Structure 1
């Protein structure tokens, strides 16, 4: 099943948290490339990063939550809120999938 994981940053977190833990975060993403299909920041109109998004292919929302909690960013306080929603892809590469 495909899930979208939408992370919202904690605006009161230390400003350098993302930079300090980025190498560990990227290594984590690489280690889980079979489950985390895509990942990246969401930029505001002014270019600031205040959230991020993953597309994960796992068996359940609980499995997606397990990935979130295993991410090195999780215990740092960088994340304020996380939303996980199942995604039903109906269009890709110029073609309908249903």
Structure 2
């Protein structure tokens, strides 16, 4: 089952937190590449981080929640909230699936 995971970042979190933990976060994404099909930052405008988006292949939302909570970003306070939503792809590369 595919899940869209939407992260909202805490703008009050120290600016250096993202920079300091980014290498560990990227290693985490690589380590879990069999589950995390895509990942990337969300921005409200250039240079201002707003959160992130993952597409995750997992058996349940609980499994995704456990994965989220093992990300090195999680315990830092950077993430203000997370939403885990079931996602069904119906369109890709200009065509309906």
TM-score of the superposed pair, with normalisation by structure 1: 0.94
Distance apart, 1:14 and its partner CA? 1.3
- C-alpha distance after superposition, 1:12-33 (max 9, x if no partner): 2111100000000000000000
CA distance in 1 between partners of 2:47 and 2:73 (Å):
21
RMSD: 0.9
Instruction: Tell me if 1:82 matches 2:82.
Output: yes
- C-alpha distance after superposition, 1:54-95 (max 9, x if no partner): 000111101110110010000000000101100011111222
TM-score of the superposed pair, with normalisation by structure 2: 0.95
CA distance in 2 between partners of 1:9 and 1:43 (Å):
10
Query: Runs of at least 4 residues of structure 1 off by over 6 A?
Result: none
Q: How does 1:1-98 map to 2 (within 5 A)?
A: 1-97=1-97
Question: Alignment partner of 1:33: what SS?
Answer: coil
Structure 2: tracts of 5 or more residues without a match: none
Structure 1: tracts of 5 or more residues without a match: none
